[in-house]
Structure 1
Amino acid sequence: MTALNITRQGWIAYAIAVATVALDQLTKLWILHGLNLEARGTVLLPGPVDLTMVWNRGMSFGLLSGHAEWGRWLLTGFSTVVVVGLTLWARKAVRPLMAVGLGLIIGGAIGNNLIDRVIYGAVADFIDVRDLYFPWIFNIADAAISVGVAFLLLDSFLTGEDKLAHPTE
């Protein structure tokens, strides 16, 4: 592959990251200030999805939630390192699935762990699908990270181990 192709794939990741951050933050602004979900608590919707406001001060599954202030900055610092590493990796992405996966993860990490924790001191979660037997409440950035990881796994299965080790061959 040429350098031009590699650059294009990296830009896919960056564009998806920007779109993910925008969608995540716009939905949170609407949830917090338009819908005022924090005061309302829960809004029941038709079907299996409801809107329930939860502030997550920890990380996945509530880890570090009892250590709010130092945990907040620890998670923010860790996320910054992860975002920088993934951004550098995205520059070298040579396949669309890899670029999409990296972009989703980068955007989700920026939305949740950088913007939310710096501005609010916690992550705003609101998508409630407990009727589908999924006990956690999450947001767009969480979903982006999960889907991004799935795309990276799919990319690795479709390309095989040798192509991951030597992507330009």
Structure 2
Amino acid sequence: MSAGERREDAVRAALHEFGRGGYEGTSTAAIAKRVGVSQPYLFRLFPSKRALFLAAVERCFDDMEEAMRDAAGGKYGQEAIVAMGARYRTMLDSGVHLKFQLQLYAAALDDEEVRQIGNTRWAELWRTIGELTGEPADEVLLFVARGMLLNVLTALDVPYTPGAELGRSLREWSEKV
């Protein structure tokens, strides 16, 4: 396996491990073990734990953007929005990206560099969604806001019906709790 392939494996492993334990609670030894390499070799791939975390931040946003582009795949307008929403929900199913996003947002509160990368990448994702769908800013806002709501619902294991029935299903759920 090439060093580039090992780097990609390390970043994928970092998404899992940092998602589970956050930046402070994750050891590079755990990441190296998940990749199947020694810790010294991991440090040949990435000069520091921080560099690996920042690479995982970039990978998380790359994955979201790639998923949105793939889901839109020639669709436009609301058809693209629906397809992108469905793809995002499948990303949430594994928990990997959601856990990492939550850790990323927590880290950004205290870390200017993480906050700046997150800010830049969110702007890129916003523009990508707008370009792929051709929808106005208010529709992009609704799509992104719904995605953030799905993050919370998934994290709290709230049952819901996606799509047009989301509001009704949440009302019914809230009345039962």
Q: Same fold (TM over 0.5)?
A: no
**Structure with a larger share of its residues in strand:** 1
TM-score by length of 2: 0.28
TM-score by length of 1: 0.29
**Structure with a larger share of its residues in helix:** 2
Structure with more relative contact order (C-alpha pairs < 8 Å, separation 6 or more): 1
